[in-house]
Amino acid sequence: MTEAAPTAAAAITEADVTMIQRIIPHRYPFLLIDRVRAVVPGRSCVGVKAVSFNEAVFQGHFPGRPVFPGVMIIEAMAQTSATLVGITMDLADRDAKTYFMGIEAAKFRRMVVPGDLLELHVTVLRGGGRVWKFEGKAMVDGQVAAEATYMAMVDIPAR
């Protein structure tokens, strides 16, 4: 018996910002991940976001005490998950969109501030079709900053 040739998705283990933008539609100032690493298609990956004081959100959240908003941490998890879906389903350059369907059990454990390197560990709980379910943990220096379980739907335009 011969082994099947690896799929394009199986060959991708990381994605820089250029590849991320080929998969998800988000752009500055709302693209919240800088890269994705440790990709296991259909299973898990780790998104990375370098939190900088120069981000526009810190003008208002909060003057004198900048804190990266929890909702943006959850969005960064979602963007990491959407990138994983795109890699898994070979959606680069396909104009696919992944939409939130629900968020469960979101918890915030630690503030994220300028200078932090946010690691977004996402794991597929259910997926492979149009509806996916994920577990995400946002980590800073090995500490959980936030965690959530959430669902998303993939919309892929016809070719």
Residues marked as catalytic? 61
What separation in angstroms does the CA of 94 have from each of 83, 87, 104, 108, 139? 13, 11, 29, 34, 31
What does DSSP assign to residue 54?
A: T
Contact 113, 43 (CB under 8 A): no
Residue 15 pairs in a beta bridge with 36
In the chain the first and final C-alpha atoms are separated, in Å, by 34
Element (H, E) at 37: strand 35-40
Cα 120 off chain centre by? 7
CA dist 159 and 140 (Å) reads: 40
